[in-house]
Chains A and B, each alone.
Chain A
């Protein structure tokens, strides 16, 4: 066996895919990027064709596509050929059930191989795939089903019984509930998908799609109103593929671990699609975060490229360097992070403890893929999101009376904007054309994030332009939380904000005022918290609930979350001229 330091050097010899950022950027075109794909006759394509079928008949077919690590027991290896066959069986099952191209398929399940087969099988069949986070409570699931009206829900028996069975009768759109994973007894109205897939043929001719046909529907949260369903099309795979190469430095044969759950956009774009189109081996761990287990996975699976998130990195940092040093992490070549800004200490910690720095990058549900990144071939600026990937033009803008203007001053903060179009750009918010149009001014997509661009062209995240909360890298819409709090009969008003947290970045805190005659006691506080957790699930529910006699609101009755937050954190209160009753 080679000593670890020699192996590391061998790994380093692999040259970065984006060794000369400026040169590649100068000559890059999306047309060339598209030529890297296999494509289908007549200018058509299909994400699943790029992820799976194109590898058949090449040596990659027998390479491991997914190395699945069950909670307990030995790893399960699934080759590209086997994953293709499993996805084909799922596509055939959809066809047999009368599911049509364009129909929605939602998945609410934890990470098991059939979740990946279902995602890819849906795409093969021309369906529109939506992942939902399995830690959502019944309400976020119900509201997203009501908006997207899927024909099929893919879930597990346990999640179905706990979170779906009670309300599904109210949503006639859902024609099939398919249970993956172990099924003891399929409840009435559901089907054991594992069994049903095994009875289907492993051959399926992937449907050639027009590039602009919808493939994915990802939900995200805004400040007001319902969750937004961002529509992505098959053409997006052009960006998934090339950013996987450029921003994550994926080389064929890499052992790649994306720790994001497929219930979120990162876990789909970079947890399913980009790694498979790039022919790497994807490590899929069934278990949730566990520091010791994670180091063991990095070591035992010889992970070469690791894409994770600031919350996880901060949790590892809390465990100290000793645990890391007990493990042989010499196979690692490239580390990346996404979800929220990675603090500079974490970049340095990676270098000191893991032997490599983390490369922070930035994107959002609407952009579909990585837009701004610290890439392998250029110096990292710790704390910065990096520079726009080739093909992407980014700017910082200020709003004027008749539009926007670009900010050149490297010290000035403005809204981060991206020049349209790019292949993985969202093509709409489902049923909300006006809300979609408001995201654009002229050629520019406005991200809602505040940033500045330094003199070297690196972008720095400053904050959100709105009230959305980012907890453990996930966006949480305050309105969705407030709406559930308002369901409690004692609650008069609710205001929800993010408060800083050393591990999660932010956590959700709720302020409520009560109706006359209600006593703000501990029993009631717990009742309200319990309601929120039951309906929303732990990932979305507030961690803290506090009573207030009244909440600051505008004269038109809108809760001023900004002011709640300023008061909670001791920040300047800013403009309070619209405050009902003036300053308190």
Chain B
């Protein structure tokens, strides 16, 4: 799965959890917590959804690394390459 497809999937799951985010205008580098008001429950739900959708194993110890959409895509991309 290339990065563009991955991005589409992540944004779909993100907007299911937080439809208040304008995903057309999302800044990939912004902190999801600060700029888009995601809290830890939202992040937990997002990563669980991505795990189910992509079949990618995301250990809980890695959760804290995903501050921005870019972090999330970098992480998922590296997992998908393996």
Decide whether A and B assemble into one complex: yes
| A interface with B by C-beta (< 8 Å) | 135, 137, 158, 288-293, 315, 318-319, 323, 472, 503-504, 507, 526-527, 529-531, 533-534, 537-539, 543
Q: Of the 9-residue stretches B31-39, B50-58, B71-79, which lies at the interface with chain A?
A: B31-39
Taking a contact as CB atoms under 8 Å apart, the answer to whether A538 and B64 are in contact is no
> Chain B, 26-44, contact with A by CB distance < 8 Å: what is the 0/1 string?
0000000110011111101
Q: How far is it, in angstroms, between the C-alpha of A543 and the C-alpha of B45 when the chains are bound?
A: 10
Contacts of A291 in B (CB 8 A): 60-61, 63-64
Contacts of B64 in A (CB 8 A): 290-293
CB distance from B25 to the nearest CB of A (A): 14
Taking A526-B19, A527-B19, A543-B45 as contacts, is the C-beta distance between A537 and B60 under 8 angstroms? no
Taking a contact as CB atoms under 8 Å apart, the answer to whether B41 and A507 are in contact is yes
Residue tally, chain B, CB below 8 Å to A: 20
Q: How far is it, in angstroms, between the C-alpha of A291 and the C-alpha of B16 when the chains are bound?
A: 26
Q: How far is it, in angstroms, between the C-alpha of A538 and the C-alpha of B46 when the chains are bound?
A: 14
Contacts of A318 in B (CB 8 A): 60
Provide a sorted-by-A list of 11 A–B residue pairs whose CB atoms are within 8 angstroms. A135-B39, A288-B33, A288-B39, A289-B40, A290-B63, A292-B61, A293-B64, A503-B41, A507-B41, A529-B20, A543-B17
Q: How far is it, in angstroms, between the C-alpha of A527 and the C-alpha of B64 when the chains are bound?
A: 29
Taking A137-B37, A538-B37 as contacts, is the C-beta distance between A530 and B20 under 8 angstroms? yes
Contacts of A531 in B (CB 8 A): 20
Contacts of B80 in A (CB 8 A): none
Taking a contact as CB atoms under 8 Å apart, the answer to whether A538 and B45 are in contact is no
Q: How far is it, in angstroms, between the C-alpha of A381 and the C-alpha of B15 when the chains are bound?
A: 44
| B interface with A by C-beta (< 8 Å) | 15-20, 33-34, 37-42, 44-45, 60-61, 63-64
Taking A533-B18, A533-B19, A534-B20 as contacts, is the C-beta distance between A288 and B40 under 8 angstroms? yes
CB distance from B76 to the nearest CB of A (A): 19
Taking a contact as CB atoms under 8 Å apart, the answer to whether A533 and B33 are in contact is no
Interface of B is mostly: helix
Q: How far is it, in angstroms, between the C-alpha of A538 and the C-alpha of B45 when the chains are bound?
A: 12
Contacts of B19 in A (CB 8 A): 526-527, 529-530, 533
Contacts of A290 in B (CB 8 A): 63-64
Q: How far is it, in angstroms, between the C-alpha of A526 and the C-alpha of B20 when the chains are bound?
A: 8
Contacts of B37 in A (CB 8 A): 135, 137, 533, 537-538
CB distance from B70 to the nearest CB of A (A): 17
Q: How far is it, in angstroms, between the C-alpha of A531 and the C-alpha of B19 when the chains are bound?
A: 9
Q: How far is it, in angstroms, between the C-alpha of A433 and the C-alpha of B15 when the chains are bound?
A: 43
Known contacts A288-B33, A319-B61, A526-B16; 17 additional CB pairs below 8 A are A135-B37, A135-B39, A289-B40, A291-B64, A323-B61, A507-B41, A526-B19, A530-B19, A531-B20, A533-B20, A533-B37, A534-B20, A538-B18, A538-B39, A539-B39, A543-B17, A543-B41
CB distance from A40 to the nearest CB of B (A): 41
Contacts of B63 in A (CB 8 A): 290-291
Q: How far is it, in angstroms, between the C-alpha of A504 and the C-alpha of B39 when the chains are bound?
A: 12
Contacts of A543 in B (CB 8 A): 17, 41, 45
Taking a contact as CB atoms under 8 Å apart, the answer to whether A538 and B15 are in contact is no
CB distance from A524 to the nearest CB of B (A): 11
Partner of B15, one of A315, A504, A526: A526
